[in-house]
Structure 1
Amino acid sequence: MSYVTSEVKNQCLTIMIDRVDKKNALTRDMYQAMADAIFAVKDDTATKVIVLKGAGDCFTAGNDISDFAEQKDNAHVPETAAFMRALAECKVPVIAQVHGVAVGIGTTLLLHCDFVYATPDTKFVLPFINLGLVPEYASSYLLPKISGHIKAAEWLMLGEPFSAQDAYQFGLLTKVVEQQEIDNTVASTIKKLVEKPTFSLMQTKALLKGDDERITLQMNEEFDIFLEALGTPAAQEAFDAFLNKRPINPEKFK
């Protein structure tokens, strides 16, 4: 069964994360499916907008920890990296429609989108440090740039949930939209973007994303440290505690 669906309609590619029974937690196959969907329209000049959204009651609970922890020789990384590259290098505007929870990459991927709409009840969290890991997807560069060092330090060093209002106040969101209005708000933005001249639309995005090289360097550096962190006793303790549904042993989580 595919847990990611994609559809091109009216010059818009919609990618739906649809693993409702697992809170849309992402596996390596799901990362690859999202990457393939984006790459498929890379040279398709007829597609002018991409929308990312989640089915059910949330956007995504982030990585499927079981799938992540069970991979050997870092087999999870190529699929994740493929999605990261696809979204970061995407030439057309990307809209994220967020509700419920956006955990880990569910939040960091928003830093690479152009429009982000979220419902008032949405909770965001960057829990990497609580797993003995480090920031990903250039978030250690983009988050301070967008929200300032002080707020980025709070979110990344404490790893605690924060609200849609907090996310909006510190620049992560385009707008906070009521649940009953978010579909119409996103549809309105799609329509406006599709009506813009293709050359001007794509070049405006390219000009706004003028620090691609710096972002790529940061992503690569984060990846190297992330892989190193995976082998530390703290990360191994965090994963084992999660998989066995037990509290973390503070003596091993150092």
Structure 2
Amino acid sequence: MSQFIHSEQQKGVLTITLNRADKKNALDTQMYERLCQLFTYANETDEIRCLLIQGDEKCFCSGNDLADFIASANNNEELAAFKFIQALCQFEKPLIAAVAGPAVGIGTTMLLHCDMVIAASNSKFILPFSHVGICLEAGASLLLPLKVGSNRAFELGVLGNPFDAEQAYQYGIVNQVCEPEMLLEIAKHVAEKIARMPDDPVQTSRKLLRSATDKVLEQVIESERDEVMRLLKTDYCQSAVASLLN
């Protein structure tokens, strides 16, 4: 169990808090494994009506712990990050995110799976995959163009242009922008409001809203995974990651 993932169950909401401040909540193997356990628990527990994932009012998630990620890939291990992506894809209940500060890589692509995203005004989003020698993941090659259009998706997902909370709101990636000190309270209120609603119609409507993309999403995620694993072994990726780690 990772010490960097905290969870609390209250009023029908399971709140997951990323708590690795010294690494800006970068996700390593143990954190991914714990996230998978909690997503499975939430899916299988009737009392949980909504899942809320958050950091704090200063930081959401700076993406993968690159040293851990590359070490696992070089050892030909099944990457825990991909297990988490599958858990995101297969999650059946309302999923809310509260975002502040950096949301990098998976810190942004996981938001594309959320039903609602509340962002603090200090949020900074970036998809730097090309710059480190890999490609889009977590179904972003399907979900991002659906959110923002193909041209904007290229700008954000391939060029890796950073964007702020107001731009994310305009692009339809987040539902609401608030002051950082209000973020966690607002997200909690939204999650609890959803949890009080009748479970069957909420989950049925959610399933219907996602039915068109769900039919192809797992196939897209599998293709992305194969390409990421291929690109991780290229000289460019190895060199780019080494320069970042040094």
TM surpasses 0.5:
yes
Unaligned runs of 5+ in 2: none
Task: Give 1:152 shift.
Answer: 0.4
The 3-state SS of whatever aligns with 1:62 is coil
- Structure 1 residue 87 corresponds to structure 2 residue 88: yes
Structure (1 or 2) with the greater helix fraction: 2
Q: Which one of the candidate residues 210, 213, 216 is aligned to 1:214?
A: 216
Tell me what 1:227 maps to. Answer: 229
Tell me what 2:131 maps to. Answer: 130
Task: Give 1:238 shift.
Answer: 0.4
Distance 1:177 1:35 in 2: 29
Task: Give 1:56 shift.
Answer: 6.4
Kindly report which structure 2 residues correspond to 1:128-207, keeping only aligned pairs within 5 A, or say none. Answer: 128-207=129-208
Task: Give 1:70 shift.
Answer: 2.1
Is the 2:13–2:192 Cα contact (8 Å) retained in structure 1?
Answer: no
Is the 2:58–2:180 Cα contact (8 Å) retained in structure 1?
Answer: no
Distance 1:89 1:179 in 2: 30
What is the aligned residue count?
243
Is the 1:68–1:76 Cα contact (8 Å) retained in structure 2?
Answer: no
Tell me what 1:74 maps to. Answer: 76
Unaligned runs of 5+ in 1: 245-254
Distance 1:129 1:226 in 2: 11
Tell me what 1:247 maps to. Answer: none
The 3-state SS of whatever aligns with 2:158 is helix
Shifted more, 66-75 versus 196-205: the winner is: 66-75
Task: Give 1:219 shift.
Answer: 0.3
Q: What is the identity, as a one-letter code, of the residue corresponding to 1:220? A: E
Q: What is the identity, as a one-letter code, of the residue corresponding to 2:85? A: M
Larger Rg over CA atoms = 1
The two structures, once aligned, show a CA RMSD in angstroms of 1.3
Tell me what 1:236 maps to. Answer: 238
The structure, 1 or 2, with the larger RCO (C-alpha pairs under 8 Å, 6+ apart) is: 2
Q: What is the identity, as a one-letter code, of the residue corresponding to 2:236? A: A
Distance 1:57 1:180 in 2: 9
Distance 1:194 1:157 in 2: 37
Distance 2:206 2:10 in 1: 21
Distance 2:42 2:156 in 1: 34
Tell me what 1:4 maps to. Answer: 5
Distance 1:42 1:11 in 2: 12
The 3-state SS of whatever aligns with 1:158 is coil
